[in-house]
Amino acid sequence: MNPKVEELKEILGEELSIYRKLLQHAGDKRKLLLEKFSTDLQTIVNQEEILVQRLIELEPRRRECVAAIAGTADANLDTAVEKISETDGKSDVWMVGSQLRDVVNEIKTVNEENQRLIEQALELTQYSVKLITKAPADVTYGPAGKKPGQRVGPALIDRKA
């Protein structure tokens, strides 16, 4: 069996495992975004950073294997799969590649939804801050000695903050 095909299978398997973990983290983030913001969200983001760093390390090795199998440096996985014989595990490599595409597309979908949830949470936060820091309306009647329109007490939150 071709050692590059074996190495490619190993790399693709590890990448698939990492992408599945990233998908799980994306789902966990969505759950936290829907429920509440917490320190758990930062923990998930830190774990994602570690997984993405490992993917960055695997990328050159995968490209090297694909290039060696396909015979060209700019080949993609599909091109390499075409060059692999059935005895070397063509269907195994194709299956893992297909699963990788599916998981990456699912991660993309969940992350887009998470982004929308974050944007909505930010809009709500900005709206709430605007309501709290809004200057009070003019008062027609006030305590003795105060002119209408003159603030009676300090604002709830200093707008400069």
Domain that holds residue 112: 3-132
Structural domain includes residue 74 = yes
Structural domain includes residue 160 = no
pLDDT tens string 39-90: 777 788 889 999 999 999 999 999 999 999 999 888 999 999 998 888 888 8
Count how many domains the chain has.
1
pLDDT tens string 103-115: 999 999 999 998 9
Structural domain includes residue 149 = no
Structural domain includes residue 141 = no
SS (H, E, C) the chain: CCHHHHHHHHHHHHHHHHHHHHHHHHHHHHHHHHHCCCHHHHHHHHHHHHHHHHHHHHHHHHHHHHHHHHCCCCCCHHHHHHHCCHHHCHHHHHHHHHHHHHHHHHHHHHHHHHHHHHHHHHHHHHHHHHHHHCCCCCCCCCCCCCCCCCCCCCCCCCCCC
Structural domain includes residue 99 = yes
pTM above 0.85, yes or no: no
Average pLDDT of span 27-38:
75
> Which CATH number belongs to the domain containing residue 114 in this structure?
1.20.58.300
